[in-house]
Amino acid sequence: MKHLLTATALVAALSGMAGAAELTVAAANVSSYLDPGKDHSNVGSQFYFNSFDPLIHKDYSKADPEWQPGLATEWTLIEPTVMELKLRPGVTFHNGEQMTADDVVFSLNRMFQATFPPYQVRMRDRLSNFDHAEKVDDHTVRIHVKREEPLFETLLNLQQTFIIPEDYTKALSGDPKVAEDSDYEAFAMAPVGTGPYRIAEFVPGQKIVWERFDGFWGEQAPLDRVNVIQVGEVASRLTALRTGEADIATNIAPDQLSTIEADPTLKVVGGATPLFHVMIMNQNHPKLQDARIRQALMLAIDRNLLNEALWLGKAVVPDSHTMEEFGPFYMPELKTFEYNPERAKELLAEAGYDGSEITFDTQGSYYTNGMLAAQAITEMWNAVGIKASIRDLPKWSGNDPEMMARNWSNPMYFNDPFGSFGVMWAPGGPSQSEGRFNTDETYAEIWDRFRFSKDIEARKAAYAELMDHMAKDPAVLPLYRPYESWAMRTDLNWAPKPGHIPYVLDFRAGSVALTN
């Protein structure tokens, strides 16, 4: 963390040196759509911050949130369940429209009262406590929540509550006065926001071009143009960097670090990302309905060995679904997950495991070291007597009833257990919506205490109960916090900021600078 802060300070100091400049990023993946409302993927998270703003910003150079004015300049809790926000005047969207209270109400209500199915998932998993937003006057809005919200500012800082233009969106298809699903689909191909860079070109899965937006309300962007090109293979990304075709390469595996460090023209920045690479298991697959089988799958995995071998010991292996960034809710005392191959064998015998094949899905190079970890995990399963194989699939299989186990990630979307475990494993959240995770009344009751208790100890106690639940009837195993690295030219000063969610490519003023 110290390294990140130092790098950030250096970047801030050098930012004044940046003149007209163009940058090219060789990214492992580029999104197939760009809509901050429906997206919560690691790939998508890279791209929104440069082009969109939330109502409430924060100091992204700090891990602990320090709220700052965004598109709202003031906010006050006028009732326990109502927040009033004064909007920033003179904010212009990339298409030239002025931002109004109507745009803010539209942007928020499309998520709070979602009718578009992808928004409904985000509404259920993290925004379910919001009731609606209303316009008070041209520069004032009120946001109503159903129950007192301990995370009000936090949730109004999320990517999903970034502001988009109402008229532009509604006019994208069909009736220009009505917001239709097809409007949102169209918006994802031609997104418009208020951030310092406008999206000048978007080729799904291949390319994004940002151009500086001169009408930005804040400090002007330091770069004229940023090109993001998809380069799937890590060797090709490094080659692009060496030949000058790219200035930054994302997702560099630890195995490659030594070769970059040996090159005087290149450098690398990175750290243990606030995100877990996890293994998920389908509770409803006929072969995995017995919880003992799933427990055995977890107990057979030596996560420390994976860390030592694949991450050179630079990743962080947790005992539970918890991380330091949770602040007072960091609970290292929980021992939810362990490695015990002998117990795994016993559980398999008790459950009467019949030797049928258990598959582990992975998605090529989507996750750094994803394929290596998949092969190592299936070998560990084989060692305790599980017949295991890999399915290397071209797309997400978490919603496929045939999926038995696969890799996934649980990012920390905000500094709270709700921002990581909570989002992914909420009743009605993405895991349950995809039919691979079940919750009952007991789980929902514990969840409610964890989510809304104002007392820290009460929330922690409820979270411990959720972890206990997950140990007994498992659906997820956090493998490790991956050590993610970005390689770049030595004359470029850029580093991921600790206040961002994982993978954000922040090229705003103060975040990037060229020294030549």
Partner 1 sequence: MTAFPMIARNTALGAFWASGDRIQRLALVLGAALALAALAAPLIAGFDPTAQSLISRLRPPLGFEGARPGHWLGTDELGRDLLSRCLYGLRLTLSLALMGATLGLMLGGLLGVLAGVAGKRIDAVIMTAVDTQIAIPFTLVALFMLSVFGSSLTVMVLVLGLAGWEQYARILRGEVMRLMQMPFIEAARAAGASPLRIALTHVLPNVVSPVVVQFTLSLSNIILLESTLSFLGLGVQPPTATLGAMVGVGRDYMPNAPWIVLAPALLILAVTFCVQILGDWLRDRADVRLRAR
Q: Which stretch binds partner 1 (CB under 8 A): 146-154, 218-226, 229-237, 292-300?
A: 229-237
Q: Are strands 405-411 and 275-281 parallel, antiparallel or unpaired?
A: antiparallel
Strand (E) or helix (H) holding 74: strand 72-79
The residue from 234, 317, 403, 467 that contacts partner 1 (CB under 8 A) is 234
Q: Which of the residues 289 through 318 are near partner 1 (CB under 8 A)?
A: 305-306, 308-310
Which of 111/299 has CB closer to partner 1?
299
Rounded to 10 deg, the angle between the 303-310 and 370-383 helix axes is 140
Q: Does 268 bind partner 1 (CB under 8 A)?
A: no
User: Under the criterion CB under 8 A, does residue 259 sit at the interface with partner 1?
Assistant: yes
Among 73, 206, 258, 399, binds partner 1 (CB under 8 A): 258
Minimum CB distance to partner 1, residue 308 (Å): 7
Q: 3-class SS at 141?
A: strand
Measured CA to CA, the distance from residue 80 to residue 458 in angstroms comes to 20
Using CB under 8 A, pick the residue from 71, 253, 296, 384 that binds partner 1: 253
Distances (CA, A) of 484 to 76, 206, 246, 311, 314: 38, 21, 18, 9, 9
Q: State how far the Cα of 385 lies from the Cα of 477, in Å rounded to an integer.
A: 20
As measured in angstroms, the least distance from the Cβ of 369 to partner 1 is 9
Sole window of 24-32, 78-86, 199-207, 386-394 interacting with partner 1 (rule: CB under 8 A): 386-394
* Binding residue count for partner 1, defined by CB under 8 A: 26
Tell me whether residue 109 or residue 307 sits nearer to partner 1 (CB atom): 307
Per DSSP, the three-state class of 431 is helix
Classify the C-alpha dihedral 166-171-177-183 as positive or negative. negative
From residue 194, alpha-carbon distances to 46, 52, 157, 163, 217 in Å are 17, 5, 15, 8, 8
Amino acid at 270: G
**Taking the complex as a whole, how short is the minimal distance between the CB of residue 82 and partner 1, in angstroms?**
53
Kindly state the smallest distance separating residue 390's Cβ from partner 1, in Å: 6
C-beta closer to partner 1: residue 226 or 253: 253
* Binding track over 339-368 against partner 1, x by CB under 8 A: -------------------------x----
Return residues touching partner 1 (CB under 8 A). 233-235, 238, 253, 255-256, 258-259, 305-306, 308-310, 364, 371-372, 375-376, 378-379, 389-392, 394
